[in-house]
Amino acid sequence: MIITRFAPSPTGGLHLGHVYSARAAWTLARAPQPFEQRAPEQGARAASGRFVLRLEDIDTERCRPEFADAILADLAWLGLDWDGPVWRQSDRGPVYAAALAHLRDAGLAYPCFCTRADIAAAASAQHGPDGAIYPGTCRSLSDAERMARSQSMSPAWRLDVAAAAARAGPLLWHDDDAGTVAADPCAGGDIVIARRGIGAAYALAVVVDDAAQGVTDVVRGTDLFAATHVQRLLQALLGLPAPRYHHHRLVLASDGRRLAKRDTAQTIAAMRAAGATPHEIFIMLDMAPLA
């Protein structure tokens, strides 16, 4: 049985890009034909799959209950119904802590005391699509140095990606468009798996939650394609199954810009308030430029 999910962060309102991804995941679970060919208004749901919903609200400084409520209201208004209860990452701290402990006990995670400014200023820092790649500054700290630094700040935790990749060996994952992909987790450097003051980072939480919800197919934008490499590594290290991936093109605004939550005029809530219907929203979505 196909199980897909939609997992927005409640840091703002849903925009057309979110709905494009949610509809694709919904349709893959609900309809027997290819997911691009069906919209929610086209009829009764099929019983062949499940569409589950998760709110990635672990960052309590940026996430707001009112945004979470608005997301649920928008999805219901659009007819994108989900199966089972809504999962919230803020309820799952102990599960993430156990996954982090597993990686620490295996000698594959280390505390990092660097700030973003430290990383950007490091002479050895390389730059990837998401900014500076961590140069490994804290990887070789002694126990005494770590103890001393922990007196003044709590650390983040990073995955020693090279050691982890050597432990896991060659890995593959499947993408609907790219086919079978050889994982290259080292390209992004030692990623953060637990943020300072927060029990887990996105990369760790997402693989743990996808496995726990039984997700078989992950539908998301091409902006997350590169992140799949290290997520495949984490799945292997934690003994979790690897879902199939469907990375779709990104919806752009009419002027070619990437959609952003801070642009409140582009939110579904604003369109609803202006009198748009769900049918009109889906027409707009089908006519929107993609990148």
pLDDT of residue 44: 42
In angstroms, the CA 29 to CA 8 distance is 18
Average pLDDT over residues 39-48: 49
In degrees to the nearest 10, what's the CA dihedral of 192, 213, 13, 69?
-120
**Closest C-alpha to 49, from 197, 216, 261, 236:** 216
pLDDT of residue 131: 62
Judge whether 209 and 54 are in contact, CB under 8 Å. Answer: yes
pLDDT of residue 276: 96
Q: List, for residues 103-154, the tens digit of each pLDDT value.
A: 999 999 999 999 888 887 775 556 555 567 898 999 999 999 999 999 989 9
Q: List, for residues 171-188, the tens digit of each pLDDT value.
A: 999 999 999 999 999 999
pLDDT of residue 263: 66
Q: Which residue has the tokens 């998760």?
A: 54
Positive or negative torsion for Cα 65, 250, 212, 133: negative
Judge whether 199 and 148 are in contact, CB under 8 Å. Answer: no
Q: List, for residues 211-227, the tens digit of each pLDDT value.
A: 999 999 999 999 999 99
Domain chopping of the chain, boundaries: 2-91+251-287, 94-194
> pTM (2 decimals)?
0.90
Q: Which two tokens stand for residue 131?
A: 């900014």
Other CB atoms within a 10 A radius of the CB of residue 87 amount to: 19
Report the alpha-carbon angle 211-214-216, nearest 5.
95
Q: What is the largest distance, in Å, between two alpha-carbon atoms of the chain?
A: 64
pLDDT of residue 128: 57
**Fold exhibited by the domain 2-91+251-287:** Rossmann fold (3.40.50)
Q: How far apart are the first and last CA of the chain?
A: 31
In angstroms, the CA 92 to CA 100 distance is 13
Look up the CATH number of domain 94-194: 3.90.800.10
In angstroms, the CA 26 to CA 80 distance is 7
In angstroms, the CA 222 to CA 176 distance is 12
Which H/E stretch holds residue 3? strand 2-6
**Closest C-alpha to 217, from 38, 45, 51:** 51
- Res 158 pLDDT > 70: yes
Let me know how long the chain is: 291
Judge whether 133 and 192 are in contact, CB under 8 Å. Answer: no
In angstroms, the CA 277 to CA 215 distance is 31
